[in-house]
Structure 1
Amino acid sequence: MPKTYIPDSREYYENRWFASADEAMFNEVTLAGQKVPFGTNLLFRHEDNRRTSFAIEICEDLWGPIPPSSKHAIAGAQMLFNLSASNELVGKADYRRSLVSQQSARCLAGYAYVSAGPGESTTDTVFGGHALIAENGRILTESERFPTGTEIVLADIDMDLLDHERRVSRTFGPTARRELAGVEYRTILFGGRLQNQNGNLSKPIREVNPNPFVPSNPEERDDRCLEISSIQAAGLATRLERTGIKNVVIGLSGGLDSTLALLVAVKAFERLALPLEGIIAITMPGFGTTERTRSNVEKLCKEFAIPLETLDIRETCKLQLKNLGHSGKPDDVAYENVQARYRTSVLMNKANMTGGIVIGTGDLSELALGWCTYNGDHMSMYAVNTGVPKTLVKYLVSWAAETWVPGNAKETLLDILDTPISPELLPPGADGKIEQKTEDKIGPYELHDFFLFHAIRHGFGPAKVLSLAEQAYEGIYDKITILKWLKLFYSRFFSQQFKRSCLPDGPKVGTISLSPRGDWRMPSDADVTAWLDELETKKD
């Protein structure tokens, strides 16, 4: 594999000794008595698994405006290797790290880079032995520079992930058709398997983040929260500005989602320099409302100086149930949903009265599971949380509490964060505390967000999602528990698509959107059987 770009400036004078691959006059060389393919158009494929493939470029090739690895990738190489002799200078390691990361991202590939080490001559330059492994824009691991001995770095590259990224990309395929016209790659088959340092072929060395939507680094997490908050507020502010509307109506329950929606509304109004009196907050105590959640709503509005209207819906809902011939007992879902739908009708009517729009509060996790009442809390005029998963909602509220809310609002937000997640549609316990807890019914949101990320964002099948979850939650959830909630996730995700087919507008803030106008198009009568059947084979 010859080098394409020959550096010939500053400390490099390679043109004295080497010629570019572009000047090669042959495509084979004799090595150890054998004919060996020679050229930059070499693609190495595994003899048993032809999708596993790699290609090579040399040193300066990565620094070129169009690295040879770009063509290698669109020709089919999933892994790209670079053997380099890059000396160390102040700041150069950061630049090199950025090059490797960006090339792996552009090529939707794994990229392994290794440079010459301290054993080289130090007459005028010093080499650090920098080694890096990246995958689709993310540095997975790297070596310590200037080692005193031999150093090996290892990482798992997820070929399924790379395959998915290339399939869904709408530029990868057309680029291949355009750039590879007239270019013929030669395929070289190889066999065997690479082992890790312990000789273990099966146990992965790659860590799996149990909270894929939430950065583990606190500084990065704060930056993420600021960016999401800005996207949400800008989306709502633009909607208000373009429509000339100066009022919004929001139903507050004292739960996480409606609290985040209120915080977004405050930021949007500040962005437009509108008085907060235009945020019309309504709380509607029902059959399950507790003193704790109602009190938190009142305190939150007081701390933001936002007027709060209280409308007790219990008698009206009892009358509706009576007119329907319902027993009035919490025996079925009608008892719960009559409250959710009545609340939405109140909000819509209030918006008509005030010339405002209803702000939706439901989040991405609820949409994935269909954990919302059709034409109830499912419906609004602009849904600000529609792109935010539940695990991230918690951090956004916590971040707001720590960074910008006024006065005693921090204490109120922290108590809201500590409140069990509940729709509060069923009566509380004898002690007045929440009895109906969402995660007791549908499972932990941290698991469902994990399933959502890997099933939708990465396109992994049920068996792989299960395997990753077992690794991520080892010692927290056993396989039986994970399998139980994963089956529920798939069952609900398929059966509840009809709710996602008619979602109100709302901003996409991350890599997943379930909007039928954006990322997600799925028939409402899709059959989940194949997905559940695959999980059945993993029971033992």
Structure 2
Amino acid sequence: MIKYGFVRVGAAVPEVKVADTEFNTRKIIEIMDKAIENDVYLTVFPELCITGYTCGDLFQQPLLLDMALKSLKKIADKSSGCKNVFIVGLPLMINQQLYNCAAVVQNGKVRGIVPKQYLPNYNEFYEKRWFSEGRNLSDDYVNIFGHDVPCGNNLIFQDELTGELSFGVEICEDLWMPVPPSSFQAKNGAVILCNLSASNEVIGKNEYRRMLVKSQSGRCIAAYVYTSSGVGESTTDLVFGGQALIAENGTILIESRRFARESQLIMQDVDVKRLYYERANISSFSEPDPTVAGRRVVLEPVSFELKELLRKIDKHPFIPADSAECNERCSEIFSIQTAGLAKRLTHTGLKKMVVGISGGLDSTLALLVACQTADMLNLPRKNIIAVTMPGFGTTGRTYENAVNLMKSMDVDLREIDIKAACLQHFHDIGHDPDVYDVTYENVQARERTQILMDIANREGGLVVGTGDLSELALGWSTYNGDHMSMYAVNCGVPKTLVKYLVTWYSENIATGKTVSILKSIADTPISPELMPPNENGEIEQKTEDIIGPYELHDFFLYYMIRHRADPGKILYLARIAFKDQYDEKTIKKWLKVFYRRFFSQQFKRSCIPDGPKVGTVSLSPRGDWRMPSDASAALWLSELEDE
């Protein structure tokens, strides 16, 4: 078994001497030792690595072929006593025909042989001079070292006990085809796809290889391990750079240094459990392709518990670490929000928008979206009715930020103090205004929503909702209060990303005084401001003191929904991501809060207003997330107790 679904894979680029099988075997075995030492379950070597790819007509020499087979025996013997898997390339005679093959080796045995299906025979390549195409091979088995070994391009290698630990193999040109063999292997259950390659270097080819590997891993919802021959190959006409790549579901995790003269082994931990269950959620992926049935090769079970993960676990998975990518992401999200709101306005025929402005991040983002939408539709900014509604908890800073923002955006600014109306309501329902309980808070939230709705009716406008994805997950909203609107532009944006969007707007779109106002808003503590300020007039009710840090909750949400991770795995990953910030006790405390709130607050999500999905995580009851409102969190909380 493998803990939490992570398995370490490696892509090797050994030093090579053309046609020197003894030298090449020594270098392969050196890398095998390193892989075993580092708990690498699966190590992929380049195409024809035992002989070298550039042997030319030497492939027609029986001596070279015999020595290659003897080298395979040495490699198999070296693997005795360990469950690590190694995939090496060699020329192999099968029924009087020579094939370019990959041999899968584990614990002293050759477990399978995969011949190259498509042979390049154009430009600098002329493999058909020596090899036969694997797709024409009819034999299901080949005798190697006295044993019948499964042979073919439809083999799926499967760990005996771990269903998600399975892989398929293709060779170089196979990946460049319109429908690579790995596509069928993935459809038939291979979660890790391996490619043994010998791809020479010409200008721009390395980027094209990266694109192919990245794309195929994403299309197949798989990990893809690619490695290619290094600089030791013949340079008579070509140069080989030794490019190696490990990708997972459309993302390159690690790559080698090209043109290195020494052997290389790149390693990375891939999340096969995530990939396995990601596929289960995609109905179009679920059925094997009947045209190419997979053949199972059962491998000896492995049990690796990685002491430390090699892969980086980002604290903020909703936010790209690269600044250029983050800017691009913010621009795209903002465009999705504005396009959604514009469509709703044109569909309804309404010309006005109503937004409640608190001086906080969420309402600020909603106002920015509304202004951009008005500009897009050639509507005057005064058609945006921005209402600030001071209450018992409103502080001077947020009030000033709200008013200054509305002025700087040139919208229809309105101020309605809700304190008198709330006091009257307390009197009507018999509530003591000195009791600061949930009634005290929710009366204010519902009063504000009522005002916005009624203004929208009176003016012929549409109430733009401000609540974000994180608040939906935690139920941090008042039912039929800020929970409700006519179109919720922020419903797909998590709290950690809201701040980045506001900052991005201030740096890329805003001008004049708006820039400094937005920066002040971004630096203000998150609060619903429903409780009175402290004696210094500062925010007393800080949301993150009550329900926990949003960066933790967004992390939990991402891995629960996007990766379908169990509580134990989320805790494990959070410990790694936040090791310098929160101790395990703190993380576990807030993770329990997350689960309790997520399950108990589904009733609010079951009736939320329309709003645009902007990322891979959405909690819309009409789209991505359908959950009964009375589901129990007991299983999830119980697992945390066992951790």
Q: Structure 2-normalised TM-score?
A: 0.81
Give the conservation status (yes or no) of the 8 Å contact 2:162–2:301.
no
**Which of 453, 476, 483 is residue 558 of structure 2 equivalent to?**
453
- Identity rate of aligned residues, in percent? 56
Q: Which amino acid aligns with 2:324?
A: E
**Which of 581, 586, 597 is residue 476 of structure 1 equivalent to?**
581
- 1:131 is aligned to 2:244: yes
Give the conservation status (yes or no) of the 8 Å contact 1:502–1:516.
yes
**Which of 44, 49, 54 is residue 167 of structure 2 equivalent to?**
54
Alpha-carbon shift at residue 192 of structure 1 (Å): 6.1
Q: Which residue of 2 aligns with 1:100?
A: 213
**Which of 610, 615, 618 is residue 513 of structure 1 equivalent to?**
618
Give the conservation status (yes or no) of the 8 Å contact 1:44–1:55.
yes
Q: Which residue of 1 aligns with 2:90?
A: none
Alpha-carbon shift at residue 330 of structure 1 (Å): 3.7
Q: Which residue of 2 aligns with 1:246?
A: 351
- 1:186 is aligned to 2:295: yes
**Which of 251, 257, 265 is residue 144 of structure 1 equivalent to?**
257
Counterparts of 1:312 and 1:497 in 2: how far apart (Å)? 32
Alpha-carbon shift at residue 291 of structure 1 (Å): 0.9
SS at match of 1:141: strand
- 1:418 is aligned to 2:523: yes
Give the conservation status (yes or no) of the 8 Å contact 1:330–1:426.
no
Counterparts of 1:170 and 1:34 in 2: how far apart (Å)? 40
Give per-residue Cα distances to partners, 1:365-399, cap 9 Å, x unaligned. 00000000000000000000000000000000000
Give per-residue Cα distances to partners, 1:173-211, cap 9 Å, x unaligned. 14x2xx224x4433222236598xxxx843221111110
- 1:291 is aligned to 2:400: no
Structure 1 residue runs of 4 or more that deviate by more than 4 Å after TM superposition: 192-195
Q: Which residue of 1 aligns with 2:54?
A: none
Q: Which residue of 1 aligns with 2:228?
A: 115
SS at match of 1:156: strand
C-alpha change, 1:194 and 1:334, in structure 2 (3 Å) is closer
Give the conservation status (yes or no) of the 8 Å contact 1:364–1:387.
yes
SS at match of 2:394: coil
Moved more, 26-35 or 223-232: 26-35
Alpha-carbon shift at residue 22 of structure 1 (Å): 2.1
Give the conservation status (yes or no) of the 8 Å contact 2:274–2:563.
yes
Alpha-carbon shift at residue 33 of structure 1 (Å): 3.1
Moved more, 19-28 or 115-124: 19-28
Matches within 5 A, 1:223-372: 223-372=328-477
Counterparts of 2:495 and 2:528 in 1: how far apart (Å)? 14
**Which of 250, 266, 275 is residue 162 of structure 1 equivalent to?**
275
Q: Which residue of 1 aligns with 2:94?
A: none
Give per-residue Cα distances to partners, 1:281-303, cap 9 Å, x unaligned. 11110000011111111111111
**Which of 132, 147, 158 is residue 45 of structure 1 equivalent to?**
158
Q: Which amino acid aligns with 1:405?
A: A
- 1:70 is aligned to 2:70: no
Alpha-carbon shift at residue 14 of structure 1 (Å): 1.1
Q: Which amino acid aligns with 1:334?
A: T
Alpha-carbon shift at residue 256 of structure 1 (Å): 0.4
Matched residue pairs, number? 530
Q: Structure 1-normalised TM-score?
A: 0.96
Moved more, 98-107 or 387-396: 98-107
Counterparts of 1:146 and 1:180 in 2: how far apart (Å)? 42
Alpha-carbon shift at residue 457 of structure 1 (Å): 1.1
Q: Which residue of 2 aligns with 1:528?
A: 633
Alpha-carbon shift at residue 421 of structure 1 (Å): 0.4
Q: Which amino acid aligns with 2:134?
A: A
Give the conservation status (yes or no) of the 8 Å contact 1:364–1:385.
yes
Q: Which amino acid aligns with 1:57?
A: E
Moved more, 484-493 or 406-415: 406-415
C-alpha change, 1:184 and 1:234, in structure 2 (3 Å) is closer
Counterparts of 1:266 and 1:524 in 2: how far apart (Å)? 36
Q: Which runs of no fewer than 5 residues in structure 2 stay unpaired?
A: 1-113
SS at match of 1:187: strand
Q: Which residue of 2 aligns with 1:87?
A: 200
Give per-residue Cα distances to partners, 1:290-333, cap 9 Å, x unaligned. 11111111111111111211111101101100111111114310
Q: Which residue of 2 aligns with 1:490?
A: 595
Q: Which residue of 1 aligns with 2:77?
A: none
More strand by share: 2
Q: Which amino acid aligns with 2:617?
A: I
Counterparts of 2:145 and 2:232 in 1: how far apart (Å)? 27
Q: Give the root-mean-square deviation of aligned CA atoms.
A: 1.2
Q: Which residue of 2 aligns with 1:537?
A: 642
Counterparts of 1:251 and 1:202 in 2: how far apart (Å)? 50
Counterparts of 2:461 and 2:160 in 1: how far apart (Å)? 64
Counterparts of 1:185 and 1:351 in 2: how far apart (Å)? 60
Alpha-carbon shift at residue 21 of structure 1 (Å): 1.3
Q: Which runs of no fewer than 5 residues in structure 1 stay unpaired?
A: none
Give the conservation status (yes or no) of the 8 Å contact 1:304–1:406.
no
Q: Which amino acid aligns with 1:34?
A: H
Alpha-carbon shift at residue 20 of structure 1 (Å): 1.0
Q: Which amino acid aligns with 1:321?
A: F
